[in-house]
């Protein structure tokens, strides 16, 4: 069953129903179109991709079995053009992605529609995206390997005095050379005490001997993201640095070992939590363990307390416990893991048993 058929089935669309997709990632997932400025309208018997003149040629080359309609902004608003198409297909009831359009935007658009009923819908496409095909997992693996190889090149060139921003630029450049279409998210690369900021922004801090180096980054292949974190010490680590690193590594390995079909995100989180809470650094532990990974860098399930969603074959998640001590530094270790055929696969390959550079 192709993705359009899946969403029709999932939304239980009847002959006079339609679903309108606004989210760019969801449009790509369902149609194959990778451009911008697009809206996807799905009915039980036809699918229409609306875009503007800048992307029509690209859309016609990328989509299959989907009508491409060019919207000329000077002639029609999106609402007016949607209404024309809805009337052509005798649509009476329209579902819309209420979590991907502002209340004001929807109010303006809906005022131009003549359908009898509009129904907000949340997470329909996202629920399909939880489960990856082997081909999707392989794209994430390719992205992870690009990140692995780029990191290996950069680690060989680390030197005293380099700034966080300089090293970040080099890492992202190497990923681009290796085939990443973009960075997965804003790279987090921090030295010394700044490594205590889980999502800090690289700055002009220069590397000194004894500093932590925390690197959280990823590559993108055909729209699929990787996400890896490694933490190092530049030079010889002191006893406290070793203790914190060992604690985080043990927590991460325990959580990875717990990943299997049928367990909840909360259960996996708890395995890391058990180790972190028994350490001298319990008050500085991370509050969540990880997240789903795919066409968005942060997807369901979120591996944290309260996540009762059960893991299944085709799920790809990150496992990334951390300890962050303000004014001193922090350690995070993250891998991308997939469940396929009831087996766990670790998609990235960068070692984590040696953290002194």
Query: What are the pLDDT digits (tens) for 140-154?
Result: 999 999 999 999 999
Give the Cα-Cα-Cα angle 321, 215, 294 (nearest 5 degrees).
70
Query: What are the pLDDT digits (tens) for 79-88?
Result: 999 999 999 9
Q: Which pLDDT score is estimated for 157?
A: 85
Between CA 174 and CA 351 the distance in angstroms is 19
In this structure, what token pair is assigned to residue 52? 């503007």
Say yes or no to pLDDT of 1 above 80: no
Q: Which pLDDT score is estimated for 179?
A: 98
CATH number for the domain formed by residue range(s) 134-346: 3.90.230.10
Same fold, 3-129 and 134-346: no
Rounded average pLDDT over 67-72 = 95
Q: β-pairing, 39-43 with 220-221?
A: unpaired
Between CA 263 and CA 254 the distance in angstroms is 14
Q: Which pLDDT score is estimated for 66?
A: 96
Query: What are the pLDDT digits (tens) for 244-259?
Result: 999 999 999 999 999 9
Q: Which pLDDT score is estimated for 240?
A: 98
Chain mean pLDDT for the chain: 96
In this structure, what token pair is assigned to residue 20? 């309108």
Query: What are the pLDDT digits (tens) for 274-320?
Result: 999 999 999 999 999 999 999 999 999 999 999 999 999 999 999 99
- Nearest CA among 151, 143, 148, 95 for reference residue 123: 95
Query: What are the pLDDT digits (tens) for 163-203?
Result: 999 999 999 999 999 999 999 999 999 999 999 999 999 99
Tokens 């690369």, residue located: 189
Q: What percent of the chain has pLDDT over 70?
A: 100
Tell which CATH architecture fits domain 3-129: 3-Layer(aba) Sandwich (3.40)
Write the secondary structure of 160-213 as one string of H (helix), E (strand) and C (coil).
CCCEHHHHHHHHHHHHHHCCCCCECCCCEEEEHHHHHCCCCCCCCCECCCCCEE
- 301 preceded by cis ω (within 30°)? yes
Going from N- to C-terminal start, the domains of the chain cover 3-129, 134-346
First to last CA, the chain: 50
Query: What are the pLDDT digits (tens) for 97-126?
Result: 999 999 999 999 999 999 999 999 999 999
Q: For the sheet containing 316-319, what is the strand order?
A: 299-303, 290-292, 316-319, 335-340, 343-346
Q: What percent of the chain has pLDDT over 90?
A: 98
């Amino acid at each position: 069953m192709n993705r359009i058929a899946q969403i029709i089935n999932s939304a239980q669309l009847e002959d006079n129903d339609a679903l309108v997709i606004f989210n760019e990632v969801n449009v790509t997932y369902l149609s194959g179109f990778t451009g911008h400025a697009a809206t996807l309208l799905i009915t039980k018997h036809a699918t229409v991709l609306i875009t503007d003149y800048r992307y029509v040629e690209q859309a016609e080359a990328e989509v299959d079995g989907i009508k491409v309609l060019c919207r000329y902004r000077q002639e029609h608003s999106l609402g007016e053009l949607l209404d024309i198409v809805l009337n052509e297909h005798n649509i009476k009831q329209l579902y819309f992605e209420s979590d991907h359009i502002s209340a004001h935007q929807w109010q303006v658009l809906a005022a131009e529609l003549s359908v009898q009923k509009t129904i907000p819908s949340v997470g329909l496409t996202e629920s399909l995206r939880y489960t990856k095909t082997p081909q999707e997992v392989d794209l994430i693996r390719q992205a992870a390997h690009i990140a692995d190889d780029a990191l290996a090149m950069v680690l060989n060139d680390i030197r005293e005095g380099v700034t966080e921003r300089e090293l970040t630029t080099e890492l992202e450049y190497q990923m681009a050379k290796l085939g990443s279409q973009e960075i997965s998210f804003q790279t987090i690369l921090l030295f010394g005490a700044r490594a205590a900021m889980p999502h800090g922004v690289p700055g002009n801090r220069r590397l000194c001997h004894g500093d932590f180096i925390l690197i959280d980054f990823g590559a993108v292949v055909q729209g699929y993201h990787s996400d890896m974190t490694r933490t190092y010490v530049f030079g010889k680590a002191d006893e406290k640095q070793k203790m914190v690193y060992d604690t985080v590594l043990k927590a991460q390995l325990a959580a990875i070992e717990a990943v299997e079909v049928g367990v909840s995100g909360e259960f996996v989180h708890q395995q890391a939590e058990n180790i972190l809470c028994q350490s001298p650094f319990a008050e500085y532990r991370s509050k969540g363990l990880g997240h789903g990974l795919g066409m968005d860098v942060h997807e369901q399930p979120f591996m944290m307390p309260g996540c009762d969603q059960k893991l299944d074959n085709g799920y790809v998640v990150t496992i990334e416990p951390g300890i962050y001590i303000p004014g001193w530094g922090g350690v995070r270790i993250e891998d991308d893991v997939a469940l396929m055929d009831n087996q766990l696969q670790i998609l990235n390959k960068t070692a984590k048993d040696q953290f002194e550079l």
